[in-house]
Structure 1
Amino acid sequence: DTDQDGLSDGEEDNKYKTRALEPDTDGDGLTDSEELERHKTDPNVADTDGDGLGDGEEVEEHGTNPLLGDTDRDGSLDLIEVKAGTDPNNPFEYPATRYNPDIGERPAITVPPDDEKVILGGTALFKVEARNGTLSYRWIKLGEGAIGANQNVLRIDNVGHDDIGFYVVLVSNKFGTIYSKTVRLDLITKPGKPRLDIVFIDGKRITIEVTGDSLHTYEIQHSRDLKEWRPLAYNPLKTNDRGKTRLELNLSPESMHGFFRLTE
């Protein structure tokens, strides 16, 4: 191992075609053995993934993946993010050019996409409107990469838990590319049936707990014979943001032996 790079001269000459007299054949800042054994990069190519950053620069300076041109899969190459000052390892950061779209003849987003909330198994629709020339569209799910077709509308059918997350669209023409704002796809939690529970009785005092939709108003009614129902004087009741509320009542002995129900 003449160059002491961890590879024998024979391996370098016959197997890897690297230079046996130079520990870093491609001059990217990583030794030939580091590239082959630790990072799985090409010791003969300084920029294995072709993103404009050398393999050594990615590993030592930016902590990015030298095998993946877009480490955080946000639709922007690592080099573009480094030059723009955004974090190439954080899919929630993008080049600042997306905040200033009207530069020359670059695309300009006129109507950005909005957040979507759908039920499980439903259909989500994201739409963007833009101008300036012939445009192409690339939808990105942050952390996963490109999805969908080259259209200004992204349709996701049969939405499941794996679809939940953040999305962005890249709009391009021959002069450049801009990014939309980040939008979120989430599931609508279907509320259960409102419920009334008697949680405490002591003499004339009774504590009633109501569980239902968040920030919703309910009425508690009382009956002695299950035929005639009357609202309690403490109505109406409004649940908190977790869909719960409690009510403490002082009732007559006759009312204590009656029935309660919850209405909206």
Structure 2
Amino acid sequence: MYICHCGKNERSIVCDSTSAGVEFYACESQCGRTLDCGNHKCEALCHPLECIPCSLNPKLITKCPCGKADLSSIEGATERKSCLDPIPTCGKICEKVLSCGQPGKHHLCKSECHEGPCPPCPLTTAVRCRCGNMNQEIACSELTTKADDARCTKKCNKKRSCGRHKCLQLCCIDMDHICPLICNHNLSCGLHKCEEPCHRGNCHQCWRASFEELHCECGASVMFPPIPCGARPPECTKLCSRDHPCGHVPNHTCHSQPECPPCTALTERYCHGNHEVRRKFQVSDTLI
């Protein structure tokens, strides 16, 4: 049994040459160990060795939250002795780069120097969706994506590459419109369906094949493998070898159809009342 670095999880590992000397492993949980300050927890994923020092340690922070002034230059600032002490502010405009605004022209925070994340931007951003259908001003506080990566709700009505289905993708910028559906049409073999993406034109020939010999009904003719899927038995010029209920010798050739054609041999038959014999009737004929 092996324990992770942070001590929260454990698991079993197969003993082999690759696990020799292994005592710990890294799980996917947050470390959570107490930092050197004794006040905060480590927010990194489970890791070996010691945790990084507390980012709010007074020895590590020498500037105000906006980074424009040294703490030692701020008039009236109280010296920090603990990571829990507030960081003195310089009173200047923050001007940290925000995520809103046009690419390359992001808005800047207009609040005074402050701790923590910047407040919502009060400005608006010109948003144009990627397909060009939407072009409008949106309040920065409502902006959920980058200004150049917005998506509108317009459905694309262009035909896909198969020529049968419409794209119907929202805010589409595709050029080829490849159809993601499976063709699923019956192949020429009649046994399998096309597994290719939906396409134009006829489906390809079934790729499956049999490696057993294919004989005609009587076995006189043979087709050697590989046999294409759906192939019919080979043609045979010999007379049909099946048993026929009429008892006559067939005059038709070997075939793969499930039933033989009607017998054409001439015979004698009584009428329905058994009064007289009629001659030269085929076995399949009906006497009226």
TM-score above 0.5: no
TM-score range, shorter chain: under 0.3
Q: Which of these two proteins has the greater Rg computed from alpha carbons?
A: 2
Between Structure 1 and Structure 2, the one with more strand by share is: 1
Query: TM-score, normalised on structure 2?
Result: 0.21
Between Structure 1 and Structure 2, the one with more helix by share is: 1
Higher relative contact order (CA 8 A, sep 6+): 1
